[in-house]
Amino acid sequence: MSKIEPKTLPGFMELLPNEQILFNQIKAKIENVYNKYGFLPIDTPIIESAEVLLAKAGGETEKQIYRFNKGEADLALRFDLTVPLAKYVAKNYGNLSFPFRRYQIGKVYRGEKAQKGRYREFYQCDVDIIGDGTLSILNDAELPSIIYNIFKDLGFEDFTICINNRKILNGLFESLNLTQKSTEILRIIDKIDKIGKEKVIIELQKLELQENAINTIINFIQITGTTQEIITKLKELKIENETFKIGLEELESVAKYVLAFGVPQSNFKIDLTIARGLDYYTGTVYETFLNNYREIGSVCSGGRYENLAEYYTDKKLPGVGVSIGLTRLFYKLNELELIKAEKKSISDVLIIDMETQDTTYLKLANELRAQGINTEVFLNNKKLKAKFKYADKLQIPYVIIIGEDELQANKVKVKNMQTGEEKLVENNAKIIADNLK
Amino acid sequence: MSKIEPKTLPGFMELLPNEQILFNQIKAKIENVYNKYGFLPIDTPIIESAEVLLAKAGGETEKQIYRFNKGEADLALRFDLTVPLAKYVAKNYGNLSFPFRRYQIGKVYRGEKAQKGRYREFYQCDVDIIGDGTLSILNDAELPSIIYNIFKDLGFEDFTICINNRKILNGLFESLNLTQKSTEILRIIDKIDKIGKEKVIIELQKLELQENAINTIINFIQITGTTQEIITKLKELKIENETFKIGLEELESVAKYVLAFGVPQSNFKIDLTIARGLDYYTGTVYETFLNNYREIGSVCSGGRYENLAEYYTDKKLPGVGVSIGLTRLFYKLNELELIKAEKKSISDVLIIDMETQDTTYLKLANELRAQGINTEVFLNNKKLKAKFKYADKLQIPYVIIIGEDELQANKVKVKNMQTGEEKLVENNAKIIADNLK
């Protein structure tokens, strides 16, 4: 029979079991933090009606989307978890309690150009808080504490949650009568880290901005310092614009409360250059960087939006949320060897029976499982050496051996696979369990 | 702005949060049992090349599959987790340890006719053991103990794991020279519960079976009794056929070891009418029934197959596995009210601050989370009554109230939402945590 090549599509992550164990541990840690803060899980379909998914899309999204017909139906695969959330909230409005705090961890699909570290199928881990009509700015201050706890739990210390407020940027441009050029200006100032101040000025001049406006913008984006210093300097700009003032007030509130929510001063800062795309976010915006690996880009981003579901409902539903692109993050962290599994195997112990014609070993396996020990039994005919090699390859930390001698003495032999140490232990699940730590 | 209807496609399950909590608990219990037995997790893509997915398909599968083009690529959504497993094992053969014990829990897609309780997107929870060349019959006996533990953990007691062996059926038909009619015969005898013995005989006569053959088949399928009685009666049939004899030996081994693996006699039986489809399984087959709800159909099924990945590789890879169709099972169990969440809310406690202008409540929230308590803070301006209603609707079991009086006394008020009982507790996370149980 001619064979078909068992290939996986480019841009689709498919891990070997030991990597999958690590991936799942990271996913579980993120989910655990979401649960710790009392967010509710939802699980929306991966396939939706194209009309629903593309209600607001356009540009890149529309080009990248997986869209197809099945019978009469015009279908598409979700490309993020925000549009499905908007649909979900609009659809179930009467059955939800607000503020609606939800998380969703699931795969999304974008037919991007395949390249190293870019995925067409990837996990997003989204957490959002949706208000009914209004939503207190305190929610914007809670999210950084969620980000903080996730990256702390993943073993990081040196990371920075950067916070800004889009109203400050928007208000600045309004005050300069530059709202129509704001998109291009944002794109230019976003490059200051890469190309430097002088080139930014040249590019702004190309946009035919007046010298006065250019100076204001340059002064603005060069504002740095402690949170309090930045707030003070922003106030000193004396920009007479209502949007700017509201943004500044919001940012001041968020910065103050972030501390109360338990984020250390060293793990967040105001960064006035962060804008997060162009028209989606309307208030607070977040990006998160591992300080020694800024080249990875933001590892957790998000922000405040005025109206989640305007394409589906007249209800005003403001929200704030962040998302982690887990597949790409995992790829990068794994490549840089920045993450290690706490537990490298699923099984805590492998039981090997020395062909005793006795089923004591099967009984023991069940008793150990009842003690919370993940217990695997080697059930196949192999040489003893091959059985140990199996435990070794799977990094199972302990092996229990039961032979005739052990049976007669009502004991089992416990071998620590890392140290090679062997000891005889009474055949009692509780006592054995204590010897597997 | 004209609105788009926020609809979810028919045949796609999308749960409200309280149902989702229950669904996730069930999924976690299944996964927990798979882990307890030392199975390794894998997570294959939902999209595969159509050529890979359809290597062996045909008939219904091919009609139901979601298949589409993206650019040049001919793609399809997986319709089960077995074909992706076959691809995975063939592709990663050199990097896996055998026997390869893997589980996968994920969504699969079949464009079936939409009807109540039938889903086009549904979770399968698969567990399989793949051997390299050979695989001991002991593995066939381990799987019923996994099924047993899952349904016990889900709160069921009165369920039966039915076991058969396809070699017995195949051998019987071989001995009667009826191999070519076996498909139709199996279809007829499968109906005996519904149409009765007499009609089965009439239908077999229509197939032009000789009276002698019909008698043998009817005698065969009417064999019942204890495991030992059935084995004895099968031996007494004195069917001189090698396949039959091997099947009988295998079935006897499985039945004997299932007990040693810890499945009570009352939870499994041999059922000679079970065949599980027509050409996939080659040895042991399983179906599982909730005895008082047989109308649900089998809640966990599977079996032994000779060669997992023959379409992709020359390696002989025998396997045995079972699968739970979780989405449909959840729908049925929920409809029949046979499952209840152990924990109805994600949050263990909701903290309400009485606008104290003090951030003690935020600090306490973090301290409680560190104690393992899922802690939500009500962060929005609402009347106190509305905040309690929120806790009530979300079935959060406790509310902590912190007002000026409590702050001055360094205490918090803990309200049990079920009993209405309130008590003042010292503002110490450990002491408060002890009061939330």
At B78, the pLDDT band (50, 70, 90 cuts) reads: very high
Say if the Cβ atoms of A8 and B91 lie within 8 Å. yes
CA distance B275 to chain A (A): 25
Does the predicted interface ipTM exceed a cut of 0.90?
yes
B274: how many CB neighbours lie within 10 A of its CB? 20
The residues spanned by each domain of chain B are 9-130+307-344, 156-297, 349-434
Between CA B92 and CA B100, with CA B97 as vertex, the angle to 5 degrees is 85
The beta-strand segments (E) located in A36-120 are 40-41, 47-49, 67-70, 73-77, 100-109
CA distance A219 to chain B (A): 35
What percentage of residues in chain A have a pLDDT greater than 70? 98
CA nearest neighbour of A213 among A164, A240, A175, A184: A175
Task: Judge contact between B87 and B47, C-beta under 8 A.
Answer: no
Tell me, what DSSP letter sits at residue B94? G
Burial B116-131 (b: 16+ CB within 10 A, else e): eeebbbbbbbbbbbbb
Which one of B1, B2, B3, B4 would you mutate to disrupt binding with A, by most A Cβ within 10 Å of its Cβ? B4
Q: What is the pLDDT of residues A81-112, one digit of tens each?
A: 999 999 999 999 999 999 999 999 999 999 98
For position A229, what pLDDT does the model report?
95
Rounded to whole angstroms, the Cα distance separating A361 from B53 reads 40
The beta-strand segments (E) located in A53-176 are 67-70, 73-77, 100-109, 121-130, 159-165
In sign, the C-alpha dihedral spanning B83, B88, B93, B97 is: negative
Fold matches, B9-130+307-344 and B156-297: yes
Average pLDDT, integer, range B328-347: 93
Task: Judge contact between A225 and A233, C-beta under 8 A.
Answer: yes
pLDDT at B278 over 60: no
In the CATH scheme, what is the code of domain A17-44+81-335?
Answer: 3.30.930.10
At A340, the pLDDT band (50, 70, 90 cuts) reads: confident
Q: What is the pLDDT of residues A22-65, one digit of tens each?
A: 999 999 999 999 999 999 999 999 999 999 999 886 667 788 99
Q: How is B370-382 classified by DSSP, letter by letter?
A: HTT--EEE--S--
For position A299, what pLDDT does the model report?
97
Average pLDDT, integer, range B232-255: 95
Cα–Cα separations (whole angstroms), residue A227 to A136, A230, B56, B316: 21, 5, 63, 65
pLDDT at B407 over 90: yes
**In the A/B pair of chains, how many CB contacts fall below 8 A?**
261
Average pLDDT, integer, range A204-215: 92
pLDDT at B1 over 70: no
Say if the Cβ atoms of A374 and B99 lie within 8 Å. no
Mean pLDDT of chain A, nearest integer: 94
Spell out the residues 6+ positions from residue A166 whose beta carbon is closer than 8 angstroms to its own.
A247, A275, A276, A281, A282, A283, A284, A285, A303, A304
Estimate the crossing angle of helix B211-221 against helix B166-175, to 10 degrees. Answer: 160
pLDDT at A426 over 90: yes
For position A57, what pLDDT does the model report?
67
- Whether A73 has its CB under 8 Å from any CB of chain B: the answer is yes
pTM, full prediction = 0.96
Average pLDDT, integer, range A199-225: 92
Spell out the residues 6+ positions from residue A387 whose beta carbon is closer than 8 angstroms to its own.
A350, A352, A378, A399
Q: What is the pLDDT of residues A155-198, one digit of tens each?
A: 999 999 999 999 999 999 999 999 999 888 988 887 887 888 89
User: Contacts of residue B121 in chain A, CB cutoff 8 Å?
Assistant: 45-47
Q: Among residues 12-31 of chain B, which lie with CB inside 8 Å of chain A?
A: 12-17, 20-21, 23-24
CA nearest neighbour of B43 among B99, B85, B94, B5: B85
DSSP bridge pairs for A222: none
Between CA B22 and CA B32, with CA B28 as vertex, the angle to 5 degrees is 150
Average pLDDT, integer, range B72-86: 96
CA distance B314 to chain A (A): 8
Task: Judge contact between A416 and A398, C-beta under 8 A.
Answer: yes
In the structure encoding, which two tokens stand for residue B156, read together?
């069921």
CA distance A204 to chain B (A): 36
Rounded to whole angstroms, the Cα distance separating A19 from A146 reads 25
Average pLDDT, integer, range A112-138: 93
Say if the Cβ atoms of B260 and A362 lie within 8 Å. yes
Among A119-128, A248-257, B62-71, the minimum mean pLDDT is found in: B62-71
Burial (Cβ within 10 Å: 0-12, 13-18, ≥19) of residue A293: middle
Of the candidate CATH numbers 3.30.1330.200, 3.30.930.10, 3.30.450.20, 3.40.50.300, the domain formed by B156-297 belongs to: 3.30.930.10
Say if the Cβ atoms of A70 and B75 lie within 8 Å. no
For position A278, what pLDDT does the model report?
56
Q: What is the pLDDT of residues B178-221, one digit of tens each?
A: 999 988 898 888 788 788 889 999 999 999 999 999 999 999 98
Rounded to whole angstroms, the Cα distance separating A1 from B377 reads 63
For position B291, what pLDDT does the model report?
97
Average pLDDT, integer, range A101-125: 92
What percentage of residues in chain A have a pLDDT greater than 90? 86
CA distance A29 to chain B (A): 13
CATH topology of domain A349-434: Rossmann fold (3.40.50)
Task: Judge contact between A16 and B92, C-beta under 8 A.
Answer: yes
Architecture of domain B9-130+307-344: 2-Layer Sandwich (3.30)
- Whether B32 has its CB under 8 Å from any CB of chain A: the answer is no
Rounded to whole angstroms, the Cα distance separating A48 from B10 reads 10
